[in-house]
Chains A and B, each alone.
Chain A
Amino acid sequence: MVRTRYLAVGLLALAVSAAPLAAVELSPAATPGKADGVGGLAGLNAEDVQALRDVRETLQLRAVDPRVSPDYRRRAVLALARVHEALNDWGLDNQLAWCLDAISATKEHKEVFASLALSAAKGGAYHLGAVCEFWSRLDADGGGSLAPEWRKLHADFERLSRELPKRAPRLAESLRPMTLQAKQVDPQSLRTMQVTPKTIDLKGSLAPYKP
Chain B
Amino acid sequence: MNSIRIATRTLCLLTVSAMVAAAAQPDEPLDRRLDKAADLARNDRAAEAGKAVRTCEDAIAAKDTTEEQRIRAFSILVQAYRSQKNLPLATRTALRLLESMPGSKAAEQASFLLQADLLKSQNKPDGVLEKVKQLIERQPDSFEGHQRLAEALLETAKNREAYEEAAKAVELNPKQEETPERSLRTMLDAATRLSDHEKCASVLGRLLDPKAVARRDEYNNRDLRRKLVAAFVGLKKLDEARATAVAAEKADREEVQRQAWATIIGDCYLEEKNYDQALAAYEKVFTEYRTPEGWSPTQRKIVDTLAKKGAAADSLKAAHVLFDAAHEPHAIAEAARVVAGAFKTLDNNVARANAFIAFQRFGPAGEDGKGGIRDPFQEIGYPAYPEREKAFDELRKVAGDNAAAARLRALTCLYSGHPKDALKYFLDAFGRCLNEEVQLRADELVLIGARAARGHTVGLDQYYNYINYGPAGPDGKSGTPDDLPDPFAPLLK
Contacts of A79 in B (CB 8 A): none
On whether A169 and B396 interact (CB within 8 A), knowing A85-B433, A86-B401, the answer reads no
**Known interface pairs A172-B361, A175-B360, A176-B357; A122-B435 also in contact (CB < 8 Å):** yes
Chain A residues lying within 8 Å of B460, measured Cβ to Cβ, are 168-169
A17-47 vs B, Cβ < 8 Å mask (1 yes, 0 no) = 0011111111000001111000111101000
> Which residues of chain B are within 8 angstroms of A180 by Cβ–Cβ distance?
349-350
Q: How far is the CA of A34 from the CA of B431 in the complex (A)?
A: 7
Which chain A residues numbered 36 to 78 have a C-beta less than 8 Å away from chain B?
Answer: 39-42, 44
- What secondary structure prevails in chain B residues at the interface with A? helix
Residues of chain B with a CB closer than 8 A to A20's CB: 399-402, 405
- Tell me whether B406 and A171 are in contact (CB under 8 A): no
B332, A119: Cβ atoms closer than 8 Å: no
Q: Please judge, given known A-B contacts A85-B402, A125-B470, A172-B362, whether A33 and B340 are in contact too, CB under 8 Å.
A: no
Point out the residues of chain B lying under 8 angstroms from A153, CB to CB. Answer: 435
Residue of A nearest to B394 (CB): A23
Question: B400 contacts which chain A residues (CB < 8 A)?
Answer: 19-21, 24, 42
B294 at the interface (CB under 8 A from A): no
Bound-state Cα–Cα, A179 to B463, Å = 33
A127's nearest neighbour on chain B, judged by CB, is B470
With both chains docked as a complex, state the minimum distance between the C-beta of A136 and any C-beta of chain B, in angstroms: 6
* B230, CB-defined interface residue at 8 Å: no
Query: Could you say which residues of chain A place their CB within 8 Å of the CB of B425?
Result: 32, 41
Contacting pair B469 A129 (CB below 8 A) = yes
For the complex, is B424 an interface residue (Cβ under 8 Å from A)?
Answer: yes
Contact B398 A22 (CB under 8 A): yes
Neighbouring A residues of B433 by C-beta, 8 Å? 85, 119
Kindly state whether residue A138 has any CB partner on chain B within 8 Å: no
**A12 on interface, CB distance cutoff 8 Å:** no
Of A100-108, A141-149, A158-166, A190-198, which stretch is located at the interface? A158-166
Distance between Cα atoms of A205 and B466 in the complex (Å): 93
**In the bound complex, CA of A43 to CA of B473 (Å):** 32
Among B147-155, B237-245, B442-450, the one that faces the other chain is: B442-450
Known: A20-B399, A129-B472, A168-B446. A33 touches B337 (CB 8 A): no
Q: In the complex where A132-B476, A171-B360, A178-B340 touch, is A40 in contact with B431 (Cβ < 8 A)?
A: yes
Nearest opposing residue in chain B for A174, CB measure: B333
Query: Is the C-beta of B74 less than 8 angstroms from some C-beta in chain A?
Result: no
Contact with A along B418-457 (1 / 0, CB 8 A): 0000001101101111111011001101110000000001
Give the docked Cα–Cα distance between A160 and B465 (Å).
11
Contact B401 A169 (CB under 8 A): no
CB closest chain-A residue, reference B362: A172
Which residues of chain B (288-340) have a CB below 8 Å from chain A?
329, 332-333, 336-337, 340
Is B358 among interface residues, defined by CB-CB distance under 8 A?
yes
Q: Is the CB of B397 within 8 A of A24?
A: yes
A23-B398, A25-B397 known; A124+B432 contact, CB < 8 A: yes
With a cutoff of 8 Å between Cβ atoms, the chain B residues found around residue A26 in the complex are 396-397, 409
CB atoms of B337 and A175 under 8 A apart: yes
Q: Count of A residues near B, CB < 8 Å?
A: 57
Cβ contact of B471, chosen from A35, A82, A118, A127, cutoff 8 A? A127
A21-B361 CB under 8 A given contacts A33-B430, A169-B447? no
Residues of B in contact (CB 8 Å), total 61
- Does A95 belong to the interface (CB within 8 Å)? no
Report yes or no: B360 in contact with A164, Cβ–Cβ below 8 A: no
Give the docked Cα–Cα distance between A132 and B469 (Å). 7
How far, in angstroms, from A95 to B166 measured CA to CA in the complex? 69
A170 to chain B: which residues have CB within 8 Å?
329, 457
**Would you give the shortest CB distance from A82 to chain B, in whole angstroms?**
7
A23 to B399, CA, bound (A): 7
Q: Are B432 and A90 in contact (CB under 8 A)?
A: yes
Residues from chain B with a CB closer than 8 A to the CB of A116 are 435
- A169 vs B468: C-alpha distance in the bound complex, in angstroms? 17
**B143 CB contacts on chain A under 8 angstroms:** none
Contact B432 A40 (CB under 8 A): yes
A109 CA / B374 CA spacing, docked (Å): 55
Other A-B contacts than A128-B468, A175-B360, A175-B361, 17 sampled, CB-CB below 8 A, are A39-B401, A40-B431, A42-B405, A82-B402, A85-B401, A85-B402, A122-B438, A126-B431, A127-B467, A128-B438, A132-B476, A161-B468, A164-B468, A171-B329, A174-B333, A175-B336, A177-B357
Q: List 28 A-B contacts (CB under 8 A).
A: A23-B398, A24-B400, A25-B397, A32-B427, A33-B431, A35-B431, A40-B428, A41-B424, A82-B402, A86-B402, A90-B432, A119-B435, A126-B488, A127-B466, A128-B469, A132-B468, A132-B469, A133-B476, A167-B442, A168-B461, A169-B332, A169-B447, A171-B360, A171-B457, A177-B358, A178-B340, A178-B350, A178-B357
Top-10 shortest CB links A-B = A129-B470, A20-B400, A169-B329, A32-B427, A168-B460, A127-B470, A42-B401, A86-B401, A33-B431, A172-B361
Question: Could you tell me which B residues sit within 8 Å of A by CB distance?
Answer: 329, 332-333, 336-337, 340, 344, 349-350, 353-354, 357-358, 360-362, 396-403, 405-406, 409, 424-425, 427-428, 430-436, 438-439, 442-443, 445-447, 457-458, 460-461, 463-472, 476, 488
